[in-house]
Amino acid sequence: MPDTPRDRSRPSPPAPSSVTPHPAGSQLSTFASVRRLYPFVRPAVPRLIAGFLSALGASLAALAIPRVLQAMVEGPLADSIDSHDVGTLVGPVLLVLGLGLLEGGLILLRRNLVMYPGTRVEAVMRMALFRHLQDLPVAFHDRWPGGQLLSRIMGDLGLLRRWLIFGLLQLVVSAITIVVGVGILLATAGWLGLVYLAGAIPVTIIVFRFSRRYRVIARLSQDQSGDLATTVEESVHGIRVLKAFGRGRDALESFTGQAEELRRTEIRKAGSQATITTSLQLIPELTLAVCLVLGVLLAADGQMTVGTLVAFFMTTAVINGPVVDLGMTLSMTLNARTAVDRYFEVMETPNRVADPAHPVEAPTPRGHVALSDVTFGYEDAARPVLEHVDLELPAGTTTALVGLTGSGKSTLALLVPRIFDVTAGAVELDGVDVRRLRRADVRARVAVAFEDPTLFSASVRENVLLGVADTLPAAEREARLHEALDVAQARFAYDLPDGVDTRIGEEGLSLSGGQRQRLALARAIASRPPVLVLDDPLAALDVATEEAVTARLREVLAATTSLVIAHRPSTVALADRVAVLQDGRITAVGTHSALLATDAHYRHVISSLEQDWARSERPVETDLANRPGTDRPSTKEAAL
Amino acid sequence: MTTTADPHSGGLRRRPTDATADDATRLDKATSRAVRSRSLRLLGDLLRPRTRALALAGVLVVVATLGQVAGPWLVALAIDDAVPAVTDGRPTTLVAVGAAYLVAAVVGGLCAGAYVRAAARIAQGVLLELRRRVFRHTQRLSLEFHESYTSGRIISRQTSDLEALRELLDGGLTGVVSSLLLMVFTGASLFLLDWRSGLVLAAALVPAWLLTRWFQHRSQLYYREQRTASARLIVKFVETMTGMRAVQAFRREATTEAEYNRLGEEYRDANLRIFSVNGRYQPGLVLIGNVTVAVALAVGGWRALEGTLEVGVLVAALLYVKRFFQPIQQLGMFYNALQSAVAALEKVSGLLAEEPTVVEPRNPVPLPHARGELRLDHVTFRYGAGPVVLPDLDLRIPAGQTVALVGSTGAGKSTLAKLVTRFYDATEGRVLLDGTDVRDLSTPDLRRAVVMVTQEAYLFSGSVRENIALGRPDASQAEIEAAARAVGAHDFILAMPEGYDTDVNKRGGRVSAGQRQLLSFARAFLADPAVLVLDEATSSLDLPGERLVQHGLQTLLADRTAIIIAHRLSTVAIADRVLVMEHGRVVEDGPPGDLAAGDGRFAALHTAWRDSLV
């Protein structure tokens, strides 16, 4: 953030739009775009129609009341003034009261009819998006900034809800009022009606142009809101870094720049809306001015009765309101449309790591894993990370994967549980290509401890038992929990304020890196998978803890097929054999000592720092070297 | 918003570690009032500098309304006067009326458009100001706060809560002006015309007021619930998306979905409750208006029959009564938006009212060039009300010394680092840098002098270059490359598709954990501080990488103070001095060679480590 690791000059569409070459729906007409909502809205249609009818009824009642008042007072009431008959009042009062109650009742009805479907549609769409996001592969989430997704699932869906509840109804009511009103004008007022209708030509053109322009700005503003949310998210997730370097001010500056950009977009949007507001108010009024002069002339000429003229203007008065509102309703609709586009952009992202249409029933797990001729490259990367990798993990063995930072070890490991899918070649689990299995089946057989231990806002118990079936008896689950904590040397959990029920994660107690890593390890162990993938599982542990974990882990790994990513000899010690990954290829497989003897690259990657000590000229070195009992030569021997 | 101790807000002041208090919706009366007034204060605070703009917008909307109202009046004039006049061959009236209509149309239309622009400018100005305030404040707040408040909650303050305010401002904070004016004019006209009918109208205000009170109480509560529900939904969403790898790897999709669905339903319920209370309030107002018209008809009609009221006056009076209630729907909508915005601002102002536990000094002691001498003067530390982590630590680190901290988890090593970097303040005692209490140093001075590299090397979206430049934003490309070279990151950066301009993507997706640590090291190199604190900064590096970093460190640390926390004793080798910590106390202190040669804990650790190297 400081100094904006974000290209401010980027024209507009957000990062994700580069992901989907044709942002879903941007080329559709507004109607076609919004029509995609139909499957979600369908159950609500009867209520929406009923709500629409209530709205119509309420407006009719509202329109009738003044007429009735006037007619009643000037008619029956005036007639009975001389008779002083109070009884004549009852009828008119009851009628007005009745109409009044009807209007209020219909508004109440409309609101009740519409609010359920409105919120229901929103909730259903939100869950659908959430489900899809959980279904989409990690590669998708790596590309899409969090704020963009958040702004879709909260902001855009909120927009849609409001549109469904207010905008859509108003749009329909306005449109119908205008069409019916203009129809009446044409039928009754002849020339005047035509003049008024002529005003519709510039209005249509302006509305059309406005829609096109506004849509682009609305989209831009929603995307920028998403980017802003991303920046907020990063500024909070990266708060330690920002604080450590005292970059709060730079972050603020960069955030302000972005927020300022959003402000400008919003003001542009308002400018566009101001134009349409002015046009929609001005043009009908101008045509009315023409009509007024023309009408007066016609009436004076006797070609038109004064009554017709009065009726004409009373009707236009009814139409003008909806015409002016149209600007508002239209922008609301266009905003909703953009929201729909943005929503479906994610919803229509195909899942490239999906379950097969006809999944193969997973065989009884033995835990045999084979990577054959595997190539993997990230979608937008020029060079593949892994090329023609062949690696077999025989059931029950432990293989250490060793290679330089960035050589593709973690990527390779994530191919096994299908977090990523191979670009070419195949990963087989017990002889079946993992792509032919259900993801849930694969992942039930393969547990991972990631290098970044992700803990959720939940108790230690829930975090550790994350991969353990809920159907397991409670006692068994407890036993798993204790065993896993024991093996991972995470017994500190018992000493937390509420023991294993202490809430940890973002909303709970913060733990040290080492503690988190041990819990992540415990989590992988607890699910007792046939295949275990451990990504540098001991990195954050101190030597004593590491030793303890190693000792216990060996027992666990004895019966499990495991792939352990290792940076250090102490971690390699867990393994029966070692595979060396260099520049995206497996260059050697063998035992630790054999590889040390034969493989120069392996020696380079794994050999201890002792040589460096020797090369160093620091006095410490000499101290250590002269220290009695220092077995440098022997370590060196071992290293070679 | 710098509100701190309001005597009534005692109930609000919460420890920052208590995020659940933030979710409270049913507040006792005093708290509720305090929260509300805090929120209104913030709103007033934001609007005050824009009084003139608001007034202008108000004028615009009134003129626009007048333009619209003038139309029917001119039409009546034309029909009543101009038609006979034209028939008589006098076209002047028609010309005048026609011209007036044109002017009214143009002025009304232009003002309506100008109002939309003006309102947006106000709304966007307020939002920008508030966004900045919230952002600045969250950056200022101490780590202690962030460790419990959750990122999702801050995001919801910055997104959906601000959205509620925006709706109020866009939806016509000033549009309400014309409604009110119209009502006042109509009411006054009615009183002038026939004060008895006016009394009927006045009587109607009583139930309207009662209904509004009811709505106020209800909607206040429900909007609070809505804000809380929305924040919970966002927190869950952010957490799930951030931890997607783990969710998928452990097949938690179904459970997470159920949980999210529950929160989503809570949010929907909150929305429904609001719609339903608002859906009763608005028709209620309409109903009161309509019943009043009927009552006015009954009363007026009776008086007309009695002969005390002319029928013509009755018609006019009834139309006035009816018209009086026409803008009331709009007022109701405005009030609803206000309630929503105030509830949202309650949350936002609550965040803004959080005081950093680590406070910037009022009169900072300048420290332009730190030497890097550290002294912990009888420091005691505990997290909040928790157990004491560091009991009475007394330590002196001369400038330029490299100190390694060794000890098991929970020994207090990271805590010591956090005190030196002032992520936390000592509970008792002082931490001195070059003889100055770190609490007396300005943030820029302190951060220039003391930099920490942590185990979790966070990358921001943007290019590699920008991420390294975070260490020193004004660094040149050559300096950035030099820093990358020094830690051995240069080669892998060049191997990336666009070198230093490569986008690291969300949370550094494409960079391995080890590479991320190298980049974060490069940041520290670039920052060039007098005191460097490394908290497990090399844990994910491979051995060649670590070797490179060690080499780099030896040059880097030659002339600066360093505190290194490492589980790998290899790092310790470059230290001048080792501190072995246990239960918050230093149990061994000396050069690594001496300690390793002895028979203490370090010697044991050292032996174990050497064995592990094989």
Query: Considering only alpha carbons, which residue of chain A is nearest residue B571?
Result: A609
Q: Which CATH superfamily groups domain A369-607?
A: P-loop containing nucleotide triphosphate hydrolases (3.40.50.300)
Q: Mark yes or no for CB contact A543/B567 under 8 Å.
A: yes
Q: Mark yes or no for CB contact A240/B247 under 8 Å.
A: no
Percent of chain B with pLDDT over 90: 35
Domain residue extents for chain A? 18-30+119-347, 369-607
* Start and end residues for every CATH 3.40.50.300 domain found in chain B: 374-612
Two tokens, residue B116: 């939309």
pLDDT at B36 over 60: yes
Two tokens, residue B513: 């954990």
Q: What is the pLDDT of residue A531?
A: 92
| pLDDT, tens only, B253-288 | 888 999 999 999 999 999 999 999 999 998 999 999
For residue A208, give how far its alpha carbon lies from the nearest alpha carbon of chain B (Å). Answer: 18
Q: What is the pLDDT of residue A27?
A: 67
pLDDT at A2 over 50: no
Which among A274, A378, A627 has CB closest to B593? Answer: A627
Q: What is the pLDDT of residue B257?
A: 93
Query: Considering only alpha carbons, which residue of chain A is nearest residue B278?
Result: A111
Strand partners for A154: none
| pLDDT, tens only, A584-613 | 899 999 998 898 889 888 888 887 544 444
Q: Name the pLDDT band for A249 (thresholds 50, 70, 90).
A: confident
Q: Mark yes or no for CB contact A618/B506 under 8 Å.
A: no
Q: Name the pLDDT band for B89 (thresholds 50, 70, 90).
A: confident
| pLDDT, tens only, B588-612 | 899 988 888 888 888 887 887 777 6
Q: Name the pLDDT band for B79 (thresholds 50, 70, 90).
A: confident
Query: How far is it, in rounded angstroms, from Cα A586 to Cα B121?
Result: 61
Calculate mean pLDDT across residues A28-43: 85
pLDDT at B489 over 80: yes
pLDDT at A157 over 90: yes
Calculate mean pLDDT across residues A326-352: 90
Closest-CA residue to B571 (of B604, B608, B539):
B539
> Using CA atoms in the order A82, A84, A88, A89, what is the torsion angle rounded to 10 degrees?
120
Ramachandran category for residue A152: left, alpha or beta (phi over 0 → left; psi -120 to 50 → alpha):
alpha
Q: Kindly give the pairing relationship between strand A577-582 and strand A585-590.
A: antiparallel
Calculate mean pLDDT across residues B438-454: 90
Helix (H, G, I), strand (E, B) or coil at A361: coil
Calculate mean pLDDT across residues B81-100: 86
Find the range with the poorest average confidence among A83-87, B67-71, B362-366.
Answer: A83-87
Q: What are the CB-based long-range contacts (under 8 Å, 24+) for A452-456?
A: A452/B456, A452/B513, A453/A513, A453/A516, A453/A517, A453/A519, A453/A520, A454/A520, A454/B242, A454/B243, A454/B245, A454/B246, A455/A504, A455/A505, A455/A511, A455/A516, A455/A519, A455/A520, A456/A505, A456/B239, A456/B243, A456/B246
Q: Where is B513: in which H helix or E strand? A: helix B513-527
Residue type, A19: V
> Using CA atoms in the order A591, A594, A599, A604, what is the torsion angle rounded to 10 degrees?
80
pLDDT at B457 over 60: yes
Domain B374-612 indexed as CATH 2.160.10.10: no
Find the range with the poorest average confidence among A50-54, A125-129, A189-193, B375-379.
Answer: A189-193
Best B128, B147, B149, B155 member to test A by mutation, with max A CBs in 10 Å, is B155
For residue A211, give how far its alpha carbon lies from the nearest alpha carbon of chain B (Å). Answer: 17
Q: Which residue has the tokens 């904590």?
A: A485
CATH of segment(s) B7-353: 1.20.1560.10
Calculate mean pLDDT across residues A183-204: 86
Q: Name the pLDDT band for B431 (thresholds 50, 70, 90).
A: very high
Query: How far is it, in rounded angstroms, from Cα B246 to Cα A562?
Result: 18
Mean pLDDT for all residues in chain B: 85
* Start and end residues for every CATH 1.20.1560.10 domain found in chain B: 7-353
Find the range with the poorest average confidence among A441-445, A447-451, A510-514, A555-559.
Answer: A510-514
Q: Mark yes or no for CB contact B139/A242 under 8 Å.
A: yes
Calculate mean pLDDT across residues A420-437: 92
Q: What is the pLDDT of residue B18?
A: 44
Contacts of B298 (CB under 8 A, 6+ apart): A89, A93
Q: What is the pLDDT of residue B348?
A: 92
Neighbours of B434 (CB within 10 A): 19
**Which fold is adopted by the domain A18-30+119-347?**
ABC transporter transmembrane region fold (1.20.1560)
Residue A463 burial by CB count (10 A; 0-12/13-18/19+): exposed, middle or buried?
buried
Residues 152-171 of B with CB under 8 A from A: 152, 154-155, 158-160, 163
Q: Name the pLDDT band for B509 (thresholds 50, 70, 90).
A: very low
Which among A104, A111, A141 has CB closest to B290? Answer: A104
Find the range with the poorest average confidence among A165-179, A621-635, B123-137, B509-523.
Answer: A621-635
pLDDT at A300 over 60: yes
pLDDT at B6 over 70: no
Q: Mark yes or no for CB contact B613/A267 under 8 Å.
A: no
Buried residues in A216-249 as b, exposed as e (16+ CB within 10 A): bbbbbbbbbbbbbbbbbbbbbbbbbbbbbbbbbb
DSSP A165: I
Q: What is the pLDDT of residue B211?
A: 94
Strand partners for B562: B402, B532
Q: What are phi and psi of A167, to 5 degrees?
A: -65, -50
Q: What is the pLDDT of residue B4?
A: 36
The ipTM (two decimal places) reads: 0.87
Query: How far is it, in rounded angstroms, from Cα A614 to Cα A637?
Result: 14
Two tokens, residue B282: 């608005």
Calculate mean pLDDT across residues B356-377: 89
Find the range with the poorest average confidence among A134-138, B114-118, B477-481, B548-552.
Answer: B548-552
